[in-house]
Amino acid sequence: MSAVCELCFHHCTLDEGQTGLCRARANRDGQIVSINYGKLTALALDPIEKKPLRRFHPGSMILSVGSFGCNLRCPFCQNAAIAASGADIPTRDCPPEALVREAVRLRARGNIGVAYTYNEPLVGYEYVRDCAALVHEAGLKNVLVTNGTIEEQPWRALLPWIDAVNIDLKGFTAKWYRRLGGDLETVKRSIALAAQNCHVEVTTLIVPGENDSEDEMRALSAWLAAVRPDIPLHISRFFPRHHMTDRPPTPVKTVYRLADIAQENLQAVYTGNC
Ligand code: SF4
């Protein structure tokens, strides 16, 4: 029997045994299940600034976990080894209880909680939700680093468990988002909803010749300021990766110029990878 995954706007219709576009969800016995549940490809204690979050418990550490799969197809993906992989990638099993035990053990080293990151964590929605509840029970924080490509109802249901989020806003045109396999309006809605519920920071990777115009940054930062002018924006430099090796890294002066423009609208703008 076929089934439809309602987690993101792709609404994959999957036949029995078939896996969705994100490679992390599949039809098993007529039900959509997360096939990356508790299957970790990465586990590390990172500085919170690396997420990047600059205004949420600065100077602290956070236990960062990743699995596999993503519901976008960015040709410049910086984490393609895990984000563009499926269930055939080597993983280690880590049920929520074991993850939280590790997070609590690492308190002594400055850990404040768990960050769901590296691949797109929302395609493993159920794992994030189950871990996040236990993380809060243990008195720790939940941080999500996401592309924000999720339908409204599951996003609203998850947000009460999330303390801070960094959401990619990969540009500000529908055309660019279409090329990445995403939807600009969905991401804007995710940012706006998150801003009503938790600490939010936003990251924009500047790809030369694609989303690097001053007008686009003006529009992006003005929209973000209308959501809340104190949302920090991270403007990050592109390096050739994955399927986008046809151009040089973003010139540093472009990143600084776009940061100056964003600062006309926003109170906190940071440059990254410069
Ligand atoms: S989360 Fe994955 S399976 Fe579900 S609709 Fe999106 S891409 Fe398809």
> Each residue of 249-267: pLDDT tens digit?
999 999 999 999 999 999 9
Residue nearest to atom 5 of ligand 1 (CA): 11
Asked if residue 141 lies in contact with residue 163, where contact means CB atoms within 8 angstroms, the answer is yes
Q: Quick one: CA torsion of 263, 264, 267, 273, rounded to 10 degrees?
A: -10
> How close is the Cα of 237 to the center of ligand 1, in Å?
29
Nearest CA to ligand 1 atom 6: 8
Give CA separation, 58 vs 155, 196, 202, 245, 270, in Å.
26, 21, 16, 34, 14
The DSSP code for 108 is G
Question: What are residue 115's phi and psi, to 5 degrees?
Answer: -110, 130
pTM of this structure: 0.97
The minimum-distance atom of ligand 1 relative to the CA of 25 is 3
Ligand 1 midpoint to CA 198 (Å): 25
- Token readout for 56 is 């949420």
Taking only the tens place, the pLDDT of each residue in 224-237 is 999 999 999 999 99
236 has which bridge partners?
205, 272
Name the residue type at position 200: V
Residue 84 has pLDDT above 90, yes or no: no
> Alpha-carbon distance 24 to 86, whole Å?
6
pLDDT digits (tens, 9 = 90+) for 100-122: 999 999 999 999 999 999 999 99
Residue 83 clears pLDDT 90, i.e. is over it:
no
Report the percentage of the chain scoring pLDDT > 70. 100
Pairwise CA distance, residues 23 & 70, whole Å: 7
To test the ligand 1 pocket, which listed residue (2, 4, 6, 8) has its Cβ within 8 A of the most ligand atoms?
Answer: 8
| Closest atom of ligand 1 relative to the 149 alpha carbon | 6
Q: Is the pLDDT of residue 196 over 90?
A: yes
119 C-alpha to ligand 1 centroid (Å): 14
CA–centroid distance, residue 32 to ligand 1 (Å): 9
The structure tokens listed for 266 are 């926003």
d(CA 271, CA 234): 6
Residues with CB under 6 A from ligand 1: 5, 7-8, 10-12, 20-22, 25, 71, 123
